[in-house]
């Protein structure tokens, strides 16, 4: 069954543009991994100079996502994001219906 990964990350608003720049290599890599159906990133400004990003990616199945998540390349391309983030939360859920 297809799954959706949702990653919610908060960064300082002054770092928001840099965060998007640093996301590009991870998004480019994910797009090449077998099983990735698509990705999106949204942003919204919160109080106190914080911007919240929500990154979603859809996968054909949990195994495909797991291969991406545990790959050395994924570790490499997402490492630059760690220096900017104030918090992060990831969820993986089955997609019940999609058109």
Q: Is residue 66 part of a domain?
A: yes
Q: In degrees to the nearest 10, what's the CA dihedral of 63, 28, 44, 91?
A: 10
For residues 72-95, give the mean pLDDT: 96
Q: Is the pLDDT of residue 52 over 70?
A: yes
- The count of domains in the chain is 1
The helix, strand and coil proportions of the chain, stated in percent and rounded to the nearest 5, come to 40, 40, 20
For residues 73-78, give the mean pLDDT: 95
The tokens for 7 are 């990653």
pLDDT of residue 97: 78
Q: Is residue 42 part of a domain?
A: yes
Q: Which residue, 83, 95, 98, 97, is CA-closest to 6?
A: 95
Parent domain of 74 = 3-94
Percent of the chain with pLDDT over 90: 96
Q: Is residue 80 part of a domain?
A: yes
pLDDT of residue 99: 67
pLDDT of residue 67: 95
What pLDDT digit, counting tens, does each position of 2-35 carry? 999 999 999 999 999 999 999 999 999 999 999 9
Q: Is the pLDDT of residue 46 over 90?
A: yes
| Average pLDDT of every residue of the chain | 96
The tokens for 72 are 């050395």
Q: Is residue 39 part of a domain?
A: yes
Q: Is residue 75 part of a domain?
A: yes
CATH number for the domain spanning 12: value is 3.30.70.100
Cβ atoms of 11 and 87 within 8 Å: the answer is no
Q: Is residue 72 part of a domain?
A: yes
Q: Is residue 99 part of a domain?
A: no
């Amino acid at each position: 069954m297809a799954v959706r990964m949702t990653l919610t990350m908060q960064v300082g608003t002054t770092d928001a543009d840099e965060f998007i720049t640093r996301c590009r290599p991870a998004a480019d890599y994910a797009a090449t991994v077998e099983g990735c159906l698509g990705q999106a990133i949204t942003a919204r400004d919160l109080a106190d100079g914080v911007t919240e990003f929500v990154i979603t990616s859809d996968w054909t199945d949990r195994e495909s996502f797991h291969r991406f998540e545990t790959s050395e390349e994924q570790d490499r391309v997402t490492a630059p994001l760690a220096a900017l983030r104030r918090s992060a939360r990831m969820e993986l859920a089955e997609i019940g219906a999609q058109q």
